[in-house]
Amino acid sequence: MVDDATTDDEGQQQGVYLVEGGSFERDQSYIDDRITADGSSGWPVEAGRYRLVVARACPWANRAIIVRRLLGLEDALSMGICGPTHDADSWTFDLDPGEVDPVLGIPRLKDAFEARFPGYPRGITVPAMVDIPSGGVVTNDFRQITVDMSTQWTAFHRDGAPELYPEALRDEIDDVARKVFEDVNNGVYRCGFAGSQEAYDEAYDALFARLDWLEERLATQRYLVGDTITEADVRLFTTLARFDPVYQVHFKCNRNKLTEMPVLWAYARDLFQTPGFGDTIDFLHIKQHYFLVHTDLNPSGVLPKGPDLSGWLTPHGREELGGRPFGDGTPPGPPVEGEVVPAAHSAG
């Protein structure tokens, strides 16, 4: 394995590795501390103590934005939003007045990592949970953050919050999510950052084989696991939302567009039109991040004008399959003030 020393998919100096044959391998070494209800981790769940730092451009952070919305954690867990473009050093708070996060008082997310781990050697990634009193990062393990929102923050869930990680379905959710991660969520990056034709072909074939598998699975059921929205749906959705605007062209995932896969396109529209999903998607930030930050893939820095986004709001017909999006719960209310995606950045 060779450390290529280039930036990873979110533009950070986090080891990107090319294995023999030029295959892309994501560095998955994250800070694995957890914020738990009983505090046994050393980080107890407390309203107002932590700040979730995200970027709307990032699919991994987008998961956390969606789960926080669905569960109604806005009052208990504040959110800082980084801009879509940055250098190789850190995500930055350039959307805020003075380019400083108003709660943490820092201009760069890296400052929170350094506050806890001086000389932090790995990538400065989002989402990240930051302890407000100390100013130090707690965790950037995107896989665990959303699960813990569902299982550890229950005291602060809104009335009517859905069960996104129901205990009886966890094994199946984990299995589906693992397949989706390997071949789709991470698979698009394996295509885009492949260092050889062989590695690209392998990733491309795995990606579209899994999308075909999903097309078949979702032809007869509205959601990926059970008859309600779960963590598995959240994890797939953020990749689907970026597929045609970015991955299809920028990462050479071009067997077909999402809009040309009838079942997945209807499924994606169904979720997009569900409160808590589409209202978190900032298509402009998404395109700015990938096309302006990945200068190795887009050296001209030209930002595409398309694609046409109006199709996201067309009828999807998935109600005919049954299912109840929120189970016995209810939809979340509208986004809180300061967290609304500008109309010009969305499909609305």
Nearest-angstrom CA–CA distance, 348 and 346: 5
Determine the Cα–Cα distance for residues 203 and 189; give it in Å rounded to an integer.
9
pLDDT along the chain (348 residues), means of 10: 32 45 78 97 97 98 98 98 92 97 98 97 95 98 97 98 98 98 98 96 98 98 98 98 98 98 98 98 98 95 95 98 97 96 91
Does the domain made of 167-345 have the CATH classification 3.40.190.10? no
Catalytic pick from 189, 223, 247, 267? 189
Catalytic residue among 30, 58, 82, 200: 58
Residues of the chain with CATH 3.40.30.10: 50-156
Would you list which residues are annotated within the binding site for glutathione?
Answer: 91
Q: Is 58 a catalytic residue?
A: yes
Rounded distance between C-alpha atoms, residue 129 and residue 112, angstroms: 10
Domain covering 50-156, topology? Glutaredoxin (3.40.30)
Pairing relationship of beta strands 17-19 and 2-3 according to DSSP bridges: antiparallel
- CATH 1.20.1050.10 residue ranges in the chain? 167-345
Q: Is 30 a catalytic site residue? A: no
| Strands of the sheet with 2-3, listed across from one edge | 2-3, 17-19, 23-25
Q: What is the pLDDT of residue 18?
A: 54
pLDDT tens, residue by residue, 238-247: 999 999 999 9
Closest of 317, 147, 162 to residue 229, by C-alpha = 162
